[in-house]
Structure 1
Amino acid sequence: MTNIALAIHGGCGTLPKAEMTDAEWAQARADLAASLRAGWAILAKGGTAVDAVEAAVRVMEDSPHFNAGHGSAFNADGEHELDVSIMDGATLAAGALCGVKRIKNPVSAAKALMRRGDPLLLAGAAGDAFADHEGLDMVENEYFSTERRRKNLSSMKIRELVGTASEASEAEKHGTVGAVARDVQGHLAAATSTGGYTNKPVGRVGDSPIIGAGTYARDGRCAVSGTGKGEYFIRYCVGHEIASLIAYKGLSLKQATDTALAELTAHKIGAGLVAIDADGAIVAPYNSEGMYRGWVTPDGLVHVATHGDVEMAGQA
């Protein structure tokens, strides 16, 4: 089992510490740990990396503390439009949905679409209809709402009116969840799920459902899930860029991810990611105030963090 590996992020839109109570921070870290345990349980039993990242992301989609599933950001019309993708590094198979409104766990719909094989990406009502046909759990759009996200929307609309939208914190704007894994067979997988950014234009699609941008996995290279300003992840093809730097320039995972993140930092773009290489090495770089993140070390210890300090949360 020493070769299995798992890492997650809950978005680089981490709130300043003062904006949540100690109890709320403890719950957010507990949800990160629960996500890791869900994914690790599958890997430890010899399960696939694809199933592990799905399980890990589902836990975060169910938590109100992250901008995916329940707790997703509102668009400009006060609705939720969710984006998601999953990728199998062994076959390069992938499934993605964008702008869906009624799927309780979008990552499971993405996996179902990947298993179907064609098409790779469905948008809007077509994605909801596919999930419904597959027998997945469906909800009303209001299910995704939380009071904190309502306050974020009000704040961003005020900022838009007074011309300070560009000064908003990552916590006000963005947030994404994602997971990367290596299974006992050496196969890699990645998954990313998001509600997008607060007050986004209706119909806006970010990088999370774009293979090669916010999500990428390829055996022998790496698996990547990103978080931040999606338009730049798309422009720089961040996931694929990291894999290419490893394959063609011979960079280590850390060198490749640092190089890719530096390009976004140069544009003053708040960003972060988690990634795993072919040997199971893990990195979780970010350039914002914090990033919800976690990983399990080969000895089965769960590590979680929101800001600078990393804490151990017991055995997986």
Structure 2
Amino acid sequence: MSISEVVIAVHGGAGSLPRGSLDRSDEAAYRAGLEEALRAGAALLGRGQSALDAVEAAVRVLEDDPCFNAGRGAVFNTDGEQELDACIMDGRDLRSGAVAGVRNTKNPISLARVVMERSKHVLIAGHGADIFALRNGFPYTTRDYFFTQRRWDALIDAKNPPEAAQPVQVGETVGAVAIDARHELAAATSTGGQTDMLAGRVGDTPIVGAGTYADSRTVAVSCTGIGEVFIRGVAAYDISALIDYAHVGVEEAAARVVTEKIPALGAAGGAIALDRHGTLAAPHSSPGIINGFLLRDGSVVTRLYDDETPPR
């Protein structure tokens, strides 16, 4: 189901949140985080700033919110460390910037933008990315900032699964897509990866065309799910290509990739895709996708539970 008149949309990851799985305080925290991100981006759009500014601002809010697997709330890898990935893309000219394996930078999405604007590269990884951050005025962030007890507990559970445990699967990865007053599009995605992943693993988030893509002629896309399969399927770009070459609408294009192609490759996930007319699709082959959007009239919708977002 597509939604019209969308200015900015965000997601907090694909996964399963059955209704009743969160207590009231946790539900309120998730919805508040999504709304804060939407309003942060919309405020910039309202002042005439670009879609690129808006998606960066929205993702920064989600990176700072420990509810989400990005920045402060990132999951731990198998070595008990956090490695952060992010990508931002400007639909006006297809410029993009990305970082992977960042460890000491508070907001990887802003560092990704600096890679785009102040270097000749697209993707910088590991220690080099953190050094690049320091050279460009980003403060050094100690590792304790990123620690959250529930993410540590999730790592311990992954290494020693409780026999009868049925944990709620909360989404992995955050992202934003937006359209500005000039009808230009932008997309941004940020993640801490997967709990207990191998050190050095890189998923789809920082790979242009896999987890993130924006072209103002077609669509802005931010993906979430099993990153290895989104890389193999070149998922984000494929949605744009279907719109560009097959001349299908955003809803059909996104659904073909997310609910047909990705499952056929053996995995699941979701995406938010916003076209140049302000039409949003949020398909998922996972049980649900945490997401929200802000309409041109200023109204905000947040969707957490599986039954709030149709699969297509």
Q: Same fold (TM over 0.5)?
A: yes
What is the letter of the counterpart of residue 287 of structure 2?
E
Equivalent position of 2:147 in the other structure: 145
Q: Distance in 2 between matches of 1:168 and 1:267?
A: 26
1:219 maps to which of 216, 233, 241: 216
The CA distance in 2 between the partners of 1:184 and 1:170, in whole Å, is 39
Structure 1 position 138, deviation (Å): 2.7
- Deviates further, 204-213 or 258-267: 258-267
The yes-or-no answer on 1:301 pairing with 2:299 is yes
Q: How does 1:80-159 map onto structure 2 within 5 Å?
A: 80-159=82-161
Secondary structure in 1 aligned to 2:88? strand
Pairing partner for 2:225 from 198, 205, 228? 228
Specify the SS of the correspondent of 1:34. helix
* Cα distance in structure 1, aligned partners of 2:215 and 2:137: 29
1:6 is the counterpart of 2:3: no
Amino acid at match of 1:32: L
Indicate the residue corresponding to 2:288 in structure 1.
290
Offset of residue 227 of structure 1 = 0.3
SS of the residue corresponding to residue 172 of structure 2 reads coil
Instruction: Name the stretch that deviates more: 74-83 or 126-135.
Output: 126-135
8 Å CA contact 2:88, 2:189 repeated in 1 = yes
Give the whole-Å Cα distance in 2 for the aligned partners of 1:137 and 1:48. 25
Amino acid at match of 2:14: C
Q: Distance in 2 between matches of 1:234 and 1:274?
A: 16
- Please point out which of 29, 32, 52 is paired with 1:30: 32
Q: Aligned pairs, how many?
A: 305
Moved more, 41-50 or 9-18: 9-18
**Structure 1's 19 and 148: CA in aligned 2 closer, same or farther, altered over 3 A?**
farther
Alignment match of 2:78 (pick from 76, 79, 83): 76
Return closer, same or farther for 1:168/1:23 CA change in 2, 3 Å cut-off.
closer
Structure 1 window deviating more from structure 2 (52-61 vs 137-146): it is 137-146
Q: Does 1:202 align with 2:199?
A: yes
TM-score between the two structures when normalised by the length of structure 1: 0.91
Give 1:314's aligned residue.
none
Report the more deviating stretch, 14-23 or 96-105. 14-23
Q: Which range is displaced more, 219-228 or 145-154?
A: 145-154
Q: CA separation of 1:187/1:303 partners in 2, compared to 1, >3 Å: closer, same or farther?
A: same
1:137 Cα deviation (Å)? 3.3
Report the CA distance between 1:50 and its aligned residue. Answer: 0.5
Tell me which amino acid in the other structure corresponds to 1:275.
A
TM-score normalised according to structure 2 size: 0.92
**Alignment partner for residue 253 of structure 1, among 241, 250, 263?**
250
- Does the CA contact (< 8 Å) of 1:4 and 1:184 recur in 2? no
* 1:190 equivalenced with 2:171 (yes/no): no
Amino acid at match of 2:254: T
Q: Is the 8 A contact 1:86 1:191 kept in 2?
A: yes
State how far apart, in whole Å, the 1-side matches of 2:191 and 2:234 are: 18
SS class of match (1:12):
strand
Q: CA RMSD in A?
A: 2.2
Gap change, CA 1:3 and 1:114, over 3 Å in 2? farther
Q: Structure 2: where are the runs of 5+ without partners?
A: none
2:114 & 2:15 partners in 1: Cα distance?
A: 28
Range with bigger deviation, 278-287 or 242-251: 278-287
What percentage of residue pairs aligned between the two structures are identical?
44
Tell me the secondary structure at the aligned position of residue 277 of structure 2: coil
Contact kept, 8 Å, 2:103 with 2:130, in 1: the verdict is yes
CA drift at 1:307: 1.2
Aligned residues of 1:3 and 1:183 also touching (Cα < 8 A) = no
